[in-house]
Each structure stands twice: as structure tokens, then as C-alpha cells.
Amino acid sequence: MPLFLQVFQEDSIMSGYRHPRSSATDCVLSLFQMTNETLNIWTHFLPTWYFLWKLLSVVLLYSAWRDSYTWPLLIYLISICLYPLASTCAHTFSSMSARARHIGFFWDYGALSFYSLGSAVAYSHYAFPDRWIDSPFHRYFLPIAMGNSILCTGLACSSRLGLPFLHYDHDSTKRFPESPRPRFSNALRMLAFAYPYLFDSIPLFYRVFLCTGEGCTNSSTNVLHVYHIGLAFLTGFLFATHLPERLAAVRIHQLFHVCAILGSHTQMQALEEDMRMRRPWLLEKFPPVTFSSSVGPALLCLLISVSIICLFSLPLLWAPAGPGSGAPRTRRATPREASLENTERSSQAPKSSL
């Protein structure tokens, strides 16, 4: 099997692959066929528009341009519009080339890291338990979350190919395959996404599971937070175990995408309810929301994450436009590899529209 084709393989997915050198038009047309990416794409593309509608509704309903109290919620809503959109683009165009696949998922990881920061901004202003408001942990919560978001982008991007110019560059003959240590790569990626979530959720864990007595913010919103936490852990479990695709040879995979979207929707409901129900108390006890406590940190982290993504993408953009390199392997191909080999052989004939 040609070395550059290995990057298109998915764990336990035996069929349903698209042509590894599809055009942009082919990729778009494949949305209407059952491929190994169909479920991934549509389960993020449709929610993107729903979240965008929700964002515009909040802006108009609360006159957000005049009410700084709503800014943390707007940042969060922007983040949950960006991460499914970035995922949609990454999965849609991932079969254009190995280079496009890597760069697309770099942006996907950056959007997820921004989502973790958007959650932290909203939690800091709306979801902290009453007795933790203006505590030392509360004051340092957002700066630490900013560092976590930046770290998340770097770790996730490095999990694919390593460090730019150190582990791969435009002269490297093995830059296109995934990491030679896939288990370590997956573990690093899991850590990159799990750690920011766990840190951001510390106030919620304490509020809904540990806090008792006065100052614990006991409200109906806690039930929504519990649902969100359950869906988040289910998402992590499915991502780590590659279920259900490991149980059978299937064409679709990563059902954790569905759980992730459901969790984000529940999280959005909980944060909006917290914002509305706790507004009088928070405005009295907590300093007003300012640019430096909401929009500023989000813009700074977004700028740094974009810079990190560009740094990781630069060696690939400098690389020659060839299909990849490396000698074919002599071992017997697995069914999944055979599927990719067949698509490679078909490149000798005129390509048909997907």
C-alpha cells in the first residue's frame, strides 16, 4: 500500500472511503452519498446553522450591543458555531489530499480549543457557585483557561505529525502519514481535549455534586448541567474506545459527534438559563462584565491559536504538490487498505463524479 494512503485510514472502518485525490466538487457531491464521513459531516453541518440562528436570536433579544452582561454568552455561542463548522469543513474536504487533510484538522482542533475557552468565559460569569464568586480561584480561573486553550491547540496539532520543522518539514519523505506511534498520538489528542474540559468544569462539579448548604446555587439549571456532564463523558468514552465501529465493519463512524452536539445544546440551554435567572444577584455581587474579562481574552486566544495553526501548516504548504512518498509495503493488505488500494488504482482511469 502506498505510504501516503495510510493517512486516510480510520480505525475499524473497512469501507466507504472516498477517492484520496478528490476534487473540491467531488467532496461536496459526496455529502449526498453514504460514505465513511457522511454522518460526521451532516451531524455538524446542520447544528451549525441552528447555533448560528440561536446566536442571532440572543443578539436581538437582549440587545447585546448595549448590554455587556450578555457578552460571555455571545462568546460561547460564537464558539459553538465555529467548532461544528470547522469540523464540517475538515471532514468534507479531507479526501482532497493528505496535506489538505492535516491542515483541515489543524483548524478543527483550533476551533475545539476556542470552544473550551468560550465555555470557560461563560462559566466564569454565569455558572460559578455562589460561595465561589470573587474567590481566588474565580479570579485566576479565566487566565488559566486561556493557557489551557492555547496548550490544547498546540498539543492536538502536534499529535498528528509532531512539531513543525523538527519532526516534519518540506524535505521530509515521511511527512504525510499519521504519527508512527498511533496510540501515543491518540492519547495526546485525548489529553489535549479532556484536560481543558475537566478544568473548565471544576465549578460545575462542585456546584452539582459536592456543594451542600447555603451558597450552592441550587436551581433547576443544575439538572441541565448534570445532563451536559453525562453527555460530555459519554462523548469522551466513545472517542477513546472507537465504539461502535470496533464491534463490526461499518461504513460510518465516530458517533461521538452526535453526543458532542447534544451535549453542546444542553450546555447552551443551561448557560442561558443561568444567565437569565441569576442576573439580579450576579449584577449585585459581581463586578460588571468588561471587554478585558470577556471579549479581550477570547480575541487574544483566537489570535494565538490561529498563529499556532499557521505554524503547523507552514511546512505542509511549502511541500511539493506530489501525492506523497515512500515505497509500497510488501505485507498483505487488510480489507480497509484494500479499499484504499482500489481507489488508488482507479486513478489510472478517468475519475467519475462522486
Residues at the annotated binding site for Zn(2+)?
91, 253, 257
Which amino acids are annotated as binding site, given as ranges?
A: 91, 253, 257
Q: Give the C-alpha separation, 112 to 152, whole Å.
A: 9
Classified as helix, coil or strand, 255 is coil
Q: How many residues does the chain have?
A: 354
- DSSP structure class, residue 70: G
Q: Give the C-alpha separation, 354 to 346, whole Å.
A: 13
Q: Give the C-alpha separation, 302 to 328, whole Å.
A: 41
- DSSP structure class, residue 63: T
**Amino acid sitting at position 235:** T
CB burial readout 235-274, b (16+ within 10 A) else e: bbebbeebeebeeeebbbbbbbbbbbbbbbbbbbbbbbbb
The region, left, alpha or beta by phi > 0 then psi within -120 to 50, assigned to residue 253 is beta
